[in-house]
Structure 1
Amino acid sequence: MPAKPAPIKKSPAKKAAAKEEKPAEPAPEAPPAEAAPPAEAAPAEAAPAEAAPAEAAPAPVEGEAAPAAEPAADAAPAPAAEEAAPAEAPAADAPAAEEPAAEADAPAEAAAAPAEEAAAPAPAEGDAPAEAAAAPAEPAAEEGAAPAAEAPAAEAPAEAPTEDAAAAPAEAPAEAAPAEAAPVEEPPKPPTPPPPPEPTSAPLNLTVEDVNATSVTLKWQQPETIGDSGLDGYTVEYCKEGAAEWVVANAELTVATKLVVAGLTTGDVLNMRVVAVNPGGRSEPAVLAEAVPVRDLVERPKVRLPRSLRTRYVRKVGAQINLVIPFLGKPKPVVSWTKDGEPLDTKRVGIRNSDRDSILFIRTSEREDSGVYEITVKIDSFLDKASLTLQIVDLPGPPTSVKLVDTWGFNAALEWTPPKDSGNTEITGYNVQKADKKTGEWFTVLENYHRLNATISDLIMGNSYNFRVFSVNKVGVSEKSVTTKEVATIQKTGIVYTPPEYQEHDFSEVPKFTAPLIDRAATVGYTTKLLCAVRGCPKPKIEWLKNQMVIGDDPKYRQLSNLGVCSLEIRKPCSFDGGVYTCRAKNDNGVATVSCKLEVKQVIIPEK
């Protein structure tokens, strides 16, 4: 068993200084010195400077464990403790070596108690003394007091415990030293209470579904805003007209959105309302717009809209409109009309009502008469509605603009924009026309064309064209058009005509008789003619021969040649003119001949 370390004896002057430097609040009670086991009594590793400064130790209070520490300080001289400290706690001497030598003589009696408290924890509150000893450490450091690294080292026993046994006490004071003050744990805050539930919004669309002599059936829709608290149900209340007291119709809340209020008195006129209820309370009530008379209805109101009026009713500007809308209901229902949710203008639209139908009459319709007309027939709180859409259409306006985009070859590209005024109906197409500037006449090139751009083809080279566009709808073609500002000019292409080179035909030909001479017989004294035909190029020269002798310019013969037909006329031949006649055709290419035999006969007159 190791010997208990001997505390250093404290002089009376130093005791007084320690009392003056004690903190304002007393330190917690230290356990008696006798309660600490000798084996754990302030080993060398348990004496860091930050754990318990010498001057920071509070003065012992009367009747506590401090008197027990003073006799222990007289047990051993200080030099022995100082020599043992470097051997057993080298880690603790490192900070102590940096302190000045004057601080090494700090009172050791005040540090003895904290050292014993750190070495010997109490059974129940083991961490309390360590925290109490760490609290006054910062004031001592501020006053320049020497750390307690040397003071606990003076109490080190001659025989130091093993390193494993001394490691745990040495680390605890070292970690507790930097703490300035013990943290105070705040008490946990109570949970924030949830916000109080809010009532829902009012039920929607409260209407009367049925009524008879003793009951009224109401229906409605759930509120738009219900909230997180949910919806418990609805309560229905009614009040006689003129009275102030509301009577609850249902004893228990109903979750349905329909309720039959029974047990009513015939002839009463009741104001009725519905209230939604949830944990937040009652909502704003949904009240019927009009009081409900409790009575039997012979026939409920009903509008019988004709089939032709169930779709859009389209008429041209200026047309007369006469619409008959039959309906049912007894007693006679009250009939009212609206246009686009507003009352009708009686100066423009006439209304005539009977027991069975209602007539809407417009003498001359205009585009301003277009809209949604709604008829309402009402008996007490029961009503029926029907609506019809009237559309008055007109011719459209012209397109907003038209532009000549490009011109190439024999083509021109156009673009245009839709008209601002469509005539209160959709545009079904466009008509595109062109005009040659030479003639100025317009011709339609595209009709009912649906696009907003087009290419006009087959234009004539060298001509200039203007274009215009009309709008078309179901009424007809717009009265005006829009014309292009630019002129499309079809340029002439640079064509140089080069005639083909033909080889000259050689028409030269040798004379040739196409019709030969024919042998003939003539009578003396009667003129005869020989004929033939010849061809040749160049034109051949014709010669006539008799018996191979050229006739020449003999007046007895007449020679003719016309268009290749050659003739030889023999005037009043005699018997000597008979013989062989030859026609000879001659040109540069050659000669051709043809011959015939002529016989001249004598006329013999018989004797009497």
Structure 2
Amino acid sequence: MPSKPAPIKKAANKEPAKKEEKAAEPEPAPEPAPEAAPAEAAPAEAPAEGEAAPAEAPAAEEPKPPTPPPADAASAAEETPAAADEAPADAAAPAVEETPAAAAEAPADAAAAPATEEAAPAADGEAPAADAEAAEAAPEEPKAPTPPPPPPKEPTSAPVDLFIEDKNDTSVTIIWSQPETIGHTGLDGYTIEIAKDGTEDWKAVNEEPQKSCRYVIKNLTTGDRLKIRVVAVNAGGRSAPCALPEAVLVKEVADRPKVRMPRFLRQRYVANVGAKINLTIPFTGKPKPVVSWTKDGQPLDTKRVNIRSTDRDSIVFIRAAERDDSGVFEICVKVDDFEDKAQFILQIVELPGPPASLKIVDTWGFNVALEWTPPKDNGNTEITGYTIQKADKKTGDWFTVLEHYHRLNATISDLIMGNTYNFRAFSENKCGISESAIMAKQEAKILKTGIDYKPPEYKERDSSEAPKFTTSLNDRATTVGYSTKLLCSVRGSPKPKVQWMKNQMIIGDDPKYRQICVQGICSLEIRKPGNFDGGVYSCKAKNDHGEATVSCKLEVKQAAVADADKK
């Protein structure tokens, strides 16, 4: 049975081999190897169904490739028929599948691959048509894309925006931004390098590249001037450096100076003349800031203003303020190249002067119109108002008619008809009312206008009358040492003259007696009478029409003495 179909198999095997050669000719040398893999898989299963034919017969008829086939393909072709019968279909497939790996190394392997593939269909005597179809379908598989060559490795662009964030006497903190162009190889990190000013001896301060865009350069020597630069590193190498424009002086600047002006000094500070000024302005800064003061843009006069500054504040002291001390005070605190300024306004005020002038503009009815001008001296502050006063010429007493008045003219009303008035004005500011006033030179006389009064005519009556006592004197008794008073009343026209007498003797200006006569009531007071003050007292009233006299007796008694006192 196996010897009969052998010629048919050879004819069938030649046809697919020629087709594979034709299909392999137009292809480039490196490509056939992957396409042969499917063709190998189809005939590889045929030996499992029937008896395997010797692999040497078809291989001898086909042209040999100029280069020897790979070891895997040659071993598969030299297998004995016995080994082919025993090998399962799965075992044959791996041996043939190794061919594409070797075919990629040499272009001549493309011809060896079909030769190896023909060995498997030669052994299959029952299905020649299936092998031919599988061989024809193999070249129609899609081709794998050619991998592009790897791009060249290039370094990134230089870092940007490098500047100093902070520094002190032993370290400098720098920050920067990442490069604008990083590339496909990525960014491994940054290297920070320093060199002393005036040299090009650059040394890296970090052992390995760091990812962060901030770095603190520590353990520096105070007073050194250093050049600093940053380099970006990746697989392509080092980028161009990004350096600071100027060398850095390693010196302590722990805190920038800052003036902290108190809230009550942020506006105008007002004080009276003669007051003691003691103002404290705190500030911060390290190391100790240098403090300077100016007044109105000029250096401060230390004879008038005392300044005492510490590490934390500055004190402005004036023992007795004067108006010339007013002005804009400015403090400046400076640390190295950093400084801060603040200012406050000091205003020294006093009482204002009186208004410059005051005059009466018009007078009508019960009203007077006044006008005045502001004072020449306002006390170094604005005038807040005026005070207007009036005085009746008869009494001379001043009364306030307007207070805290802001205008420069006013109308005074409700005056009394027939009276004459004087007016004066005071100025007022924050300190109070001016010590003196300005008085109007003119007087305002309120006339009785519009009234023509004619009093009625009366016949005069003769009211002449001789003195007449309406109340006479009464006898009195008193005790030694106790004052007493004698009373009587008299009338008469014209008013009579009254005289007091004791025992027909006129009592003059003796201080022991007090004589009073008001509205016709006459009284005589005897102050602490003695033993000899008793007697007859008379009151005599006399005018042009006559005279009248009344009398009484005064008895002065001794005080009662107790029996014990007598003994």
User: What's the TM-score, normalizing by structure 1?
Assistant: 0.35
User: What's the TM-score, normalizing by structure 2?
Assistant: 0.37
